C-alpha cells in the first residue's frame, strides 16, 4: 500500500484523500478524490460542471497533462445561431469585475471527464470509493468555508440567487447569506453524485444528468446541446517541461496559456539564480512578470495558433529578446505525491459561476464562456468544440530521488504565485511551508497601465510604477498547495495560509 502526502483546498478534502489512501489508493486516486470533494463543497469558488487539468508524472515514464478544459458549445445548432440568456454582471469582488452569467455563459464542462480519465489511466481503487466522501458530505451537509463566504458576499445574490435550489442552499429564509461554517446542503447534489458513482461519469455526458443540463441551457437561450456533452472527450498531452537548476518541471501545455507563461518566467531565472530577495532580484522579478504577462496579453489570449505563439515566447526568453522588448476566476487545487514516486496535480475552475442549476441536479454550471478577462472573444469564442483559454497550471517537478506536486488557484495570479514559490523552494532553498507562505508581488497589467500589488514583507525598490501595498498576506495572491517526497528524507506538505487549505500524510 503506497504512503501518500496531500495538500488541498480544505481539511475535509484532505480527509477524503486520507480515506482513499487507507483503502490502498495511490497519488492519483487520492488527488481525484480530493478534487471531487473540493469542487462539490466549495460553492461559488468551484463546481463540478467546469474545467480541470490533471498533470501526472509516474516514476517510470514521462509526465502527461490531461486536458479537461471547457469548450465552445453549439454542436448541432443551425448556422448563424445567436446566443441569448447571457446576463452582464458587475461585482466589486477583486477590485471590480465585469462578467457574463446565465445560461448563455455556459461552456461545455470537462472536469469530470478529465478526473475519470486520470483514474482510468493511473488509479488503483474503485471509482465508487473515490466519490463516497463527497456523497456523504453532500447528503449530510458541509461547512461554508471562509473563502466561499467571502466571494458569495459579492456574488450570492446577483449570480447564485438565479436558481431556486442554489438560493435555498446558500441563503437564510430572509434572503441573507448563511454565515461562515454554516452547514450547507445543496438539494439533489447527493443524488447526482450517487448516480455518477454507480453508473460512471458518462451519465453526466450521455445520460439523464446530461439531458437535464442541455435542456435547461437550451430552453433559456444558451448554446450548450446534448451533442456537445455526448461528444466531449478529455485530451492527454505531453506536459510542457522546463528546468530550474537541477529540477525538471512539467506543467500544462498549449492550448492553455498558464503553463507557457510559468515556463517563460522559470526560463528567465534559469541563468540568473536567486539566493535572496534583494533590490536587484526584486527588480528582475517585476521585469520578468512584465515581459511574460505583457506577451500573454498581446499574443496569447487572442491567438489562433497558441502553440506557435508559445514557441516564439520561449525562444525569445532563451535568446534574451523578451526582457529587452518589455523592459503583468476562482479555482481549487490539489497536490499529491506517494512513496513510489508518483505525483499528481489537479487544478479545477468553473469561472465566476453562471448561477444556473438545472432542476433536480444540484449542479451549478460554469460561466467560462462569459469569463471575459480570460475568454476575451466573449460569446464569439470560435467554432463549437474549441478549447477556451485557461491560465491553470498544475505541475510536477522532479530531480534525482525527489518529486514535487504543486499548483495554485488565483486567476491571473496563478503563474506569478507558482513562479515565486518555485524560486523560493528550488533556488533560495526555503523550507516548503516557508516557500509557500513567503510574501509575493504581482504586476497587474491593464489597458489603463500597470500597478504592482505587493504583500507586506517584501521591501520593494523604487520602480517608477504605482504600488498597492496589502495590509497582510491575501488570498488575492493565490493559494499554493505543495506536496514533496524525498526518498531519503520522506514527506512534507504545505497548504497556503492565504486560504483555508488542508494537508495529510499517511502513516
Please tell me the distance from the alpha carbon of residue 456 to that of residue 353, in angstroms, as a whole number: 31
Coil, helix or strand for 274? coil
> What are the angstrom distances between the C-alpha of 199 and each of 41, 177, 438?
21, 35, 44
- Angstrom distance (rounded) from CA 377 to CA 423: 34
**Residue 69 CB: number of other CB atoms within 10 A?**
26
Q: Contact at 8 Å (CB) between 389 and 372?
A: no
Rounded average pLDDT over 91-96: 77
Average pLDDT over residues 423-436: 97
Average the pLDDT over 64-79 and give the result: 95
pLDDT in tens, 483-500: 999 999 999 999 999 888
Average pLDDT over residues 474-478: 87
State the Cα–Cα distance between residues 271 and 265, nearest whole angstrom: 11
Q: Is the pLDDT of residue 330 over 90?
A: no
Give 350's strand partners: 352
> How far, in Å, CA of 307 to CA of 289, rounded?
20
- In this predicted structure, the answer to whether residue 94 has a pLDDT above a threshold of 70 is no
* Residues 336-370 pLDDT 10s: 999 999 999 999 999 999 999 999 999 999 999 99
Under the banding of pLDDT at 50, 70 and 90, the label for residue 105 is very high
Q: How would residue 323 be classed by pLDDT, with cut points 50, 70 and 90? A: low
- Is residue 347 within 8 A of residue 416, CB to CB? The reply is no
Instruction: Flag whether pLDDT at 373 surpasses 80.
Output: no
Q: How far apart are CA 44 and CA 160, in angstroms?
A: 7
104 contacts 356 by C-beta, under 8 angstroms: no
With cut-offs at 50, 70 and 90, classify the pLDDT of residue 326: very low
Report the alpha-carbon distance of residue 27 to residue 290 in Å, rounded. Answer: 36
In the block, cell 495529510 appears at 504
Look at residue 321 in the predicted model and tell me its pLDDT. 63
Q: By percentage, how much of the chain surpasses pLDDT 70? A: 97
Task: Check residue 328 and give its pLDDT.
Answer: 30
Q: Residue 131's closest CA among 186, 189, 187, 193?
A: 193
Q: Model confidence over 269-303: pLDDT tens digits?
A: 988 889 999 999 999 999 999 988 888 887 887 77
Residue-range domain boundaries for the chain: 253-331+402-481
Element (H, E) at 199: helix 189-199
pLDDT given for residue 305 in this prediction? 86
315 CB neighbour count, 10 Å cutoff: 12
Stated pTM of the model: 0.93
Q: Are strands 449-454 and 441-446 parallel, antiparallel or unpaired?
A: antiparallel
Which residue is listed with cell 497587474?
444
- Residue-averaged pLDDT of the chain: 92
Summarised one tens digit per residue, pLDDT across range 379-418 is: 887 899 999 988 899 999 999 999 999 999 877 789 999 9
Least confident of 13-22, 58-67, 143-152: 143-152
Amino acid at each position: 500500500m503506497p504512503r501518500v502526502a496531500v495538500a488541498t483546498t480544505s481539511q475535509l478534502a484532505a480527509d477524503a484523500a486520507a480515506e482513499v489512501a487507507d483503502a490502498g489508493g495511490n497519488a492519483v486516486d487520492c488527488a481525484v478524490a480530493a478534487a471531487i470533494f473540493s469542487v462539490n463543497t466549495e460553492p461559488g469558488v468551484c463546481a463540478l460542471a467546469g474545467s480541470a487539468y490533471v498533470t501526472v508524472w509516474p516514476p517510470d515514464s514521462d509526465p502527461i497533462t490531461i486536458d479537461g478544459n471547457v469548450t465552445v458549445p453549439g454542436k448541432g445548432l443551425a448556422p448563424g445561431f445567436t446566443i441569448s440568456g447571457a446576463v452582464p454582471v458587475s461585482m466589486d469582488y477583486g477590485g471590480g469585475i465585469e462578467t457574463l452569467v446565465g445560461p448563455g455563459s455556459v461552456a461545455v464542462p470537462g472536469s469530470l471527464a478529465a478526473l475519470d480519465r486520470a483514474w482510468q489511466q493511473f488509479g488503483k481503487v474503485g471509482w465508487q470509493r473515490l466519490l463516497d466522501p463527497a456523497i456523504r458530505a453532500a447528503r449530510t451537509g458541509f461547512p461554508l468555508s471562509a473563502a466561499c463566504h467571502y466571494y458569495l458576499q459579492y456574488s450570492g445574490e446577483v449570480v447564485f440567487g438565479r436558481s431556486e435550489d442554489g438560493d435555498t442552499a446558500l441563503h437564510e429564509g430572509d434572503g441573507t447569506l448563511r454565515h461562515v461554517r454554516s452547514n450547507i446542503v445543496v438539494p439533489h447534489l447527493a443524488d447526482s453524485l450517487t448516480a455518477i458513482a454507480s453508473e460512471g461519469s458518462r451519465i453526466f455526458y450521455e445520460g439523464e444528468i446530461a439531458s437535464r443540463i442541455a435542456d435547461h441551457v437550451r430552453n433559456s437561450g444558451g448554446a450548450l446541446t446534448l451533442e456537445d456533452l455526448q461528444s466531449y472527450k478529455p485530451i492527454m498531452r505531453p506536459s510542457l517541461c522546463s528546468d530550474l537548476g537541477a529540477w525538471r518541471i512539467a506543467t500544462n501545455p498549449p492550448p492553455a496559456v498558464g503553463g507557457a507563461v510559468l515556463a517563460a518566467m522559470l526560463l528567465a531565472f534559469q541563468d540568473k539564480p536567486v539566493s535572496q530577495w534583494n533590490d536587484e532580484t526584486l527588480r528582475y522579478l517585476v521585469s520578468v512578470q512584465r515581459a511574460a504577462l505583457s506577451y500573454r496579453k498581446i499574443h496569447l489570449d487572442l491567438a489562433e495558433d497558441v502553440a506557435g505563439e508559445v514557441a516564439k515566447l520561449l525562444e525569445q526568453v532563451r535568446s534574451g529578446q523578451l526582457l529587452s522588448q518589455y523592459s503583468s476566476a476562482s479555482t481549487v487545487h490539489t497536490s499529491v505525491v506517494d512513496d513510489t514516486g508518483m505525483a499528481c496535480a489537479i487544478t479545477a475552475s468553473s469561472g465566476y459561476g453562471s448561477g444556473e442549476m438545472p432542476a433536480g441536479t444540484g449542479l451549478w454550471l460554469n460561466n467560462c464562456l462569459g469569463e471575459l478577462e480570460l475568454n476575451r472573444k466573449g460569446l464569439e469564442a470560435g467554432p463549437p468544440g474549441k478549447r477556451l483559454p485557461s491560465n491553470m497550471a498544475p505541475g510536477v517537478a522532479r530531480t534525482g530521488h525527489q518529486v514535487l506536486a504543486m499548483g495554485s488557484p488565483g486567476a491571473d495570479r496563478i503563474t506569478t504565485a507558482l513562479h515565486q514559490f518555485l524560486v523560493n523552494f528550488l533556488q533560495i532553498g526555503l523550507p516548503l511551508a516557508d516557500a509557500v507562505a513567503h510574501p509575493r508581488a504581482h504586476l497587474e497589467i491593464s489597458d489603463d497601465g500597470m500597478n504592482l500589488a505587493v504583500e507586506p514583507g517584501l521591501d520593494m525598490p523604487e520602480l517608477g510604477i504605482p504600488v498597492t501595498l496589502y495590509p497582510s498576506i491575501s488570498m488575492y495572491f493565490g493559494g499554493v498547495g505543495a506536496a514533496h517526497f524525498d526518498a531519503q528524507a520522506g514527506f512534507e506538505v504545505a497548504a497556503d495560509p492565504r486560504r483555508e487549505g488542508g494537508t495529510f500524510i499517511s502513516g
